[in-house]
Chains A and B, each alone.
Chain A
């Protein structure tokens, strides 16, 4: 059913259709609207049977989900940013125990400085947690990915984060096709756990494993994600059959058949990129786009295939490996090892910095001209940065960086500092 609906609300409705049995809620922007909506569905009796638990922290949220999932319940929670970090220990634990929990991450920057706006630092910080990570480009895709995520997680008995850009998607009102309960039920069978805490057949879950078996356990987690590389396209194909929509999969290409330059990105920024590419194509530029939906497992093969016919690529990512550069870019470079391609990284949109089409035009053109340094910081205010660096060189106690920058940028409140 087509609805003009807020992203969070749409996702909540999709989650509801997936018949979660335990939902753990802890407020953190920008995911709050999702659990608020779910809470209302449970309380009103619209979503039943379901336990909606207001926990006291994200750590508890994930822990409750772990308990519920291990006891055979379909468990869901949502978080972002600091919250994801606060639950990090439990995030690793859920995947270590092989519990098919689905969690929405409304992607948001990580402090300090505290910042509520969108980038991908949070979920990318959990890159190696053993969770699968699927990135939605649109709210429609966010809805669809959640439905696929439960199926995928439960088939592999591994947890999944469905990542959607905070505010940009979560708070955007768009037209979204919300599937029917019958459609979802047909696609997503009831949860049949691989292992379950059951007095009738007791097991001990969560053993201490030493050097004699730890590597094998780790490898098996890896093998699961390798299996996901095959399963994700199958599930997307099946989804298309039932829902008549292309949604999900490992990667999505746009205008790359003859592209000499390919722009690679994840999430909602792909929309802006495609618009820019459309405009550049109209001007005759051979440029295309590769969207990565499945960040974990990372589709090395699919990325390599998509890029093999181009000459150069630019990874534009909303994340920064401090002291190194790109995070997604590293994986992409790994995919095209030995292919002789020129590769560039652009760090963009950190902490919600708008990614402007004008900036992208300039960036892409420089990439085409192979005039970029290996790592570019899009729209970085070099004046402010240089001032601060100079200040630090001369004064030992140069004061807090963020406040200094606000001062330099002339933001009024900081002047009273």
Chain B
């Protein structure tokens, strides 16, 4: 329009020639921050990463991202104490995302659909011996196999699974689930030798380039309790182990369990299911001090398990126990009161913790043993070159998840060690803490409650107590994820920029800033729901 009146009439959209980016003092940049769930996961799962795929209903992809770090999602989705959920930012909003339940859904879905692990692309020619087919050993075997190493697991027991089988009751972890996930690892070409107890590691290691020890802690700790000859005293580990065999343990009508950990709870609930009219836990401190997880205590109480707080067992006789009442002092330490009472008990089960059988290490040079565990370096290697260890036999929290994490970590270091290098973990990103988020944008959505088996059946059968999510509820739960610290393409930055200075690249490609026009106001940063934008000063 050359006929436009001069100056007062303008061509449309011509302000593009005015590059307002020069006004900027700070520039926004897209960042990936570390979601607190990922940070808290002992197995090092990329939780936000797999939830991302679950959110769009691509469960197989979600599962594949999940198993990059953990080969046992169906197990973990049942037995993990999910520190991820404790760390979850959504907990500060309404309730944490049910990460564990979605993990279980994915694990179950994989079993149902028969998803398999990919076989390794290349073969290293190295052989690694894994001792123990518990969570740590299986995890290490899986990761080593993925890296192309030939792995053989030697397991002392008759089944794979370790404490997952001999420590966790069926009603929490059905055995077919465990078997399926173990089998999937073996399908990768991992060799499993059962009933093969390694007596001497140096001998057994011959023909292998490295070994990973993960024998677990299977020896029950004993406490000295004066007892009459006829007193029936057993330990929790053997009770739970015998549940896997033909002969179920005989505990009687009134069973007293001594201890305050999760194993004490497991035994009491098992006793209930075996027909005990009363299963009573005796614990020397209060509920607040109890190491067992609160939800397990709650479930036990629902099933009729009784707990006698602030009590120690002083004497055991046939059919009865003498118990002393305790009082917590100012520091929370129980102190004897001198008040005694007698309670009926057909049997007393001691659940006072477990020790590691370290006999296979006899004579191995360079090892350091401390407090009944093997000391390892940051690379999980013992003092003896080529021998790595993890799980319950090294100093750490004794959970399946920690064990799985050890297996992965050890595998990476073993792989590097075999190549004559050192594995350097990537530097952690800044944590996407709650203050980095703009929670306004998340709809109110309460956590999905997992179905629970009714109490009568819980008291009489070993059916799984906690149900799984169906697809709808799993999808819903996945979508409760705030995607902390990682862009999930909500288009907010693109929408809220007053200067149209955000370029939308399209699905899966994210966004770019157009610094020609970005004035650096920072609205995109403030309105980013998940804290994936950061303002950085312009260099002058």
Contacts and interface: CB of A to CB of B under 8 A. Distances in A.
Interface in A11-46: none
A209 B12 CA distance: 16
B9 interface: yes
Interface string B1-39: 101111111111000000000000000000000000000
Q: Name the residue in B1, B4, B8 with the highest tally of chain A Cβ atoms < 10 Å from its Cβ.
A: B8
Contact of B4 (A203, A214, A216): A203
B430 to A, nearest CB: 45
A217 B7 contact: yes
11 contacts: A97-B8, A98-B5, A194-B3, A203-B9, A204-B10, A204-B12, A207-B7, A207-B8, A207-B10, A216-B7, A217-B7
Contacts of A98: 5, 8
A207 B6 CA distance: 10
A195 B5 contact: yes
Contacts of A206: 8-9
Interface in A50-88: none
A323 interface: no
B1 A195 contact: yes
A113 interface: no
A217 B10 CA distance: 13
Nearest to B12: A202
A203 B7 contact: no
A213 interface: yes
Nearest to A209: B7
Nearest to B13: A202
A214 B4 CA distance: 16
B8 A205 contact: yes
B8 A203 contact: no
B11 A203 contact: yes
Size bracket of the B interface: 10 to 19
Contacts of A157: 5
Q: Name the residue in A202, A204, A214 with the highest tally of chain B Cβ atoms < 10 Å from its Cβ.
A: A204
Interface in A330-387: none
A201 interface: yes
Interface in A87-131: 96-98
A219 to B, nearest CB: 10
A204 B15 CA distance: 12
Given A203-B4, A203-B9, A220-B5, 8 more contacts: A157-B5, A203-B10, A203-B11, A204-B9, A207-B8, A207-B9, A209-B7, A213-B7
A199 to B, nearest CB: 11
Interface in B137-178: none
A213 to B, nearest CB: 4
Interface string A188-223: 000000110000011111110100011011001000
Nearest to A202: B12
B7 A195 contact: no
A410 B9 CA distance: 58
Interface in B199-228: none
A22 to B, nearest CB: 20
B502 to A, nearest CB: 24
Contacts of B3: 194-195
Q: Name the residue in B1, B9, B10, B12 with the highest tally of chain A Cβ atoms < 10 Å from its Cβ.
A: B9
Nearest to A70: B9
A149 to B, nearest CB: 20
B347 to A, nearest CB: 89
B8 to A, nearest CB: 5
A220 B5 CA distance: 9
A201 B9 CA distance: 13
A410 B67 CA distance: 110
Nearest to A99: B5
Nearest to B15: A204
Nearest to A220: B6
A307 B4 CA distance: 40
B1 A96 contact: no
Contacts of B6: 213, 216-217, 220
Interface in B372-388: none
A371 B9 CA distance: 54
A304 B246 CA distance: 131
Contacts of A205: 8-9
Contacts of B12: 202-204
Interface in B103-144: none
Contacts of A201: 1
A216 B7 CA distance: 9
Contacts of B7: 207, 209, 213-214, 216-217
A216 B1 CA distance: 19
A213 B8 CA distance: 9
Contacts of A213: 6-7
Nearest to A194: B3
A201 B5 CA distance: 15
Nearest to B14: A204
Nearest to B5: A98
A201 B1 CA distance: 9
Contacts of B4: 195, 203
Contacts of A96: 8
Interface string A214-235: 1011001000000000000000
User: Closest 4 interchain pairs by CB?
Assistant: A213-B7, A204-B10, A202-B12, A209-B7
Q: Name the residue in B1, B7, B11 with the highest tally of chain A Cβ atoms < 10 Å from its Cβ.
A: B7
B1 to A, nearest CB: 6
A34 to B, nearest CB: 30
Contacts of B5: 97-98, 157, 194-195, 220
A217 B4 CA distance: 12
A287 B321 CA distance: 145
Contacts of A204: 9-12
B135 to A, nearest CB: 67
Nearest to A201: B1
A192 to B, nearest CB: 11
Nearest to A204: B10
A194 B11 CA distance: 15
A220 B7 CA distance: 11
Contacts of A216: 6-7
A98 B3 CA distance: 12
